[in-house]
């Protein structure tokens, strides 16, 4: 007999918010791995002040509850820049004021120069991004943080898709998040996961939303970890 995972109220509230905001959509979408996914999460659609502020609240609450120890935030270009800034503001509002920094894609050859902007990278640095698709952004961020003499200490993301990564065109036995956790030795704090999304659909009183449960469950059965 299998037991259902305990319901995470913060994750359920976040999934509801993402669906209501049109950021989490259902249908048929092609992923970078070439899979046809029955859902799509686009954090770039948290595109006004109210939605971004609410998103930052979810990140901050998850981080404070996670127990992850960090001294500052780092946002990898491009989506991570806005996320790190917004989360820093929300953490300060909650009484946890920390510096933040981000990188440019291209080095600046005038003014302060370089690729890093914001606070000097120092101490334990937490990377803030929307999702982890292949771990590439995380690896690049780790290299920048270490090159600056600081210590990367973890990653915060909005959604863990909990699906197999691809390696050399084939399905890997691990997910991108597991790769970061196990191979890069970085803890990952996700506001919500695919399991939370399935719980939300299963409990929804909206028949239109519940209609997507079968497709999402089948997708996880095929590609989940």
Residue 212 known to be catalytic: no
Contact 83, 128 (CB under 8 A): yes
What's the confidence (pLDDT) of residue 167? 84
What's the confidence (pLDDT) of residue 1? 35
What's the confidence (pLDDT) of residue 108? 55
Which residues have a Cβ under 8 Å from the Cβ of 205 and sit 6 or more positions away?
A: none
Bin 34: left if φ > 0, else alpha if -120 < ψ < 50, else beta: left
Helix or strand run (H / E) with residue 30: strand 24-30
What's the confidence (pLDDT) of residue 180? 95
Annotated catalytic residue, options 51, 105, 110, 212: 110
Q: Which residues pair with 74 in a beta bridge?
A: 101, 127
Greatest distance between any 2 Cα atoms in the chain: 64
Residue 108 known to be catalytic: yes
Q: How far is CA 182 from the centre of its chain?
A: 17
Nearest residue to 71 via CA among 49, 99, 108: 99
Distant-in-sequence contacts of 60-66, Cβ < 8 A, 24+ apart: 60/87, 60/90, 60/91, 60/94, 60/96, 61/10, 62/10, 62/156, 62/189, 62/190, 62/191, 63/87, 63/91, 63/126, 63/156, 63/189, 64/91, 64/94, 64/96, 65/10, 66/187, 66/189
Contact 130, 43 (CB under 8 A): yes
Which residues have a Cβ under 8 Å from the Cβ of 110 and sit 6 or more positions away?
A: none
Query: Nearest-5° angle of CA 196, CA 203, CA 59?
Result: 30
Spell out, as residue ranges, where the chain has pLDDT lower than 70: 1-5, 107-113
Annotated catalytic residue, options 30, 105, 108, 212: 108
Nearest residue to 9 via CA among 206, 215, 182, 199: 199
The per-residue pLDDT for range 104-141, each reduced to its tens digit, is 877 655 445 478 999 999 999 999 999 998 788 899 99
204's tokens: 């929804």
Cα–Cα separations (whole angstroms), residue 168 to 72, 171, 210 = 35, 8, 35
154's tokens: 């973890």
So where are the chain's domains? 9-223
* pTM: predicted TM-score of the whole model, two decimal places: 0.92
Candidates 2.40.50.100, 3.40.50.2300, 3.40.120.10, 3.40.50.2020; CATH matching 9-223: 3.40.50.2020
């Amino acid at each position: 007999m299998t037991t259902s995972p305990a319901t995470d109220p913060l994750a359920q509230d976040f999934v509801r918010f993402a669906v209501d905001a049109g950021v989490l959509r259902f249908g048929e979408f092609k992923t970078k791995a070439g899979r046809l996914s029955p859902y799509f999460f686009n954090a770039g659609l948290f595109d006004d002040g109210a939605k971004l502020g609410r998103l930052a609240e979810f990140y901050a609450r998850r981080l404070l509850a996670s127990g992850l120890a960090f001294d500052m935030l780092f946002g990898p270009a491009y989506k991570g820049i806005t996320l790190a800034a917004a989360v820093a503001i929300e953490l300060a509002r909650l009484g946890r004021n920390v510096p933040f920094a981000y990188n440019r894609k291209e080095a600046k050859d005038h003014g302060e120069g370089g690729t890093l902007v914001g606070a000097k990278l120092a101490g334990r640095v937490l990377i803030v991004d929307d999702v982890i698709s292949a771990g590439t952004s995380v690896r690049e961020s780790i290299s920048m943080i270490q090159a600056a003499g600081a210590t990367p200490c973890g990653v915060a993301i909005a959604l863990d898709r909990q699906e197999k990564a691809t390696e050399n065109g084939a399905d890997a036995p691990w997910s991108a998040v597991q790769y970061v956790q196990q191979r890069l030795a970085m803890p990952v704090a996700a506001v919500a996961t695919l399991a939370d999304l399935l719980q939300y659909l299963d409990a929804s009183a909206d028949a239109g939303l519940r209609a997507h449960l079968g497709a999402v469950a089948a997708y996880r059965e095929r590609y989940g970890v």
